[in-house]
């Protein structure tokens, strides 16, 4: 398989996406939105957070192109606009689970050697 060389512009875009996802609270928001569209108030209640903090994170996710929003009366509703984010998260989770399994096996092997 040929190696894909990214332009500087593409590297900047990818780095920006990872920075956007680099905050655990934003990942919690995305997790809540995976089930479907929610208002700011619903997100505040579900995450037991405060409205200004959640709104700040929603703005970052919106600016990053991961979520969309629509206004209905005085309420703003947010939804996932790039479902690929969940595939990326699944890849990272799978990789971390595999790393943890290898670490555990290495530790278990060391413990067996110590007991001998």
pLDDT tens-digit map of 34-84:
999 999 999 999 999 999 999 999 999 999 999 999 999 999 999 999 999
Predicted TM-score (pTM) of the model is: 0.78
Share of the chain above pLDDT 70, in %: 94
What does DSSP assign to residue 2? P
CA 81 to chain centre: 13
């Amino acid at each position: 398989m040929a190696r894909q060389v990214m332009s500087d512009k593409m590297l900047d875009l990818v780095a920006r996406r990872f920075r956007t996802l680099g905050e655990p609270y934003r990942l919690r928001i995305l997790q809540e939105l995976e089930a479907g569209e929610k208002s700011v108030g619903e997100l505040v209640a579900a995450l037991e957070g405060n409205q200004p903090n959640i709104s700040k994170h929603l703005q970052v996710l919106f600016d990053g192109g991961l979520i969309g929003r629509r206004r209905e009366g005085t309420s703003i509703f947010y939804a996932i606009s790039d479902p690929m984010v969940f595939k990326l998260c699944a890849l990272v989770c799978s990789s971390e689970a595999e790393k943890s399994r290898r670490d555990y096996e290495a530790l278990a092997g060391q413990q067996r050697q110590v007991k001998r």
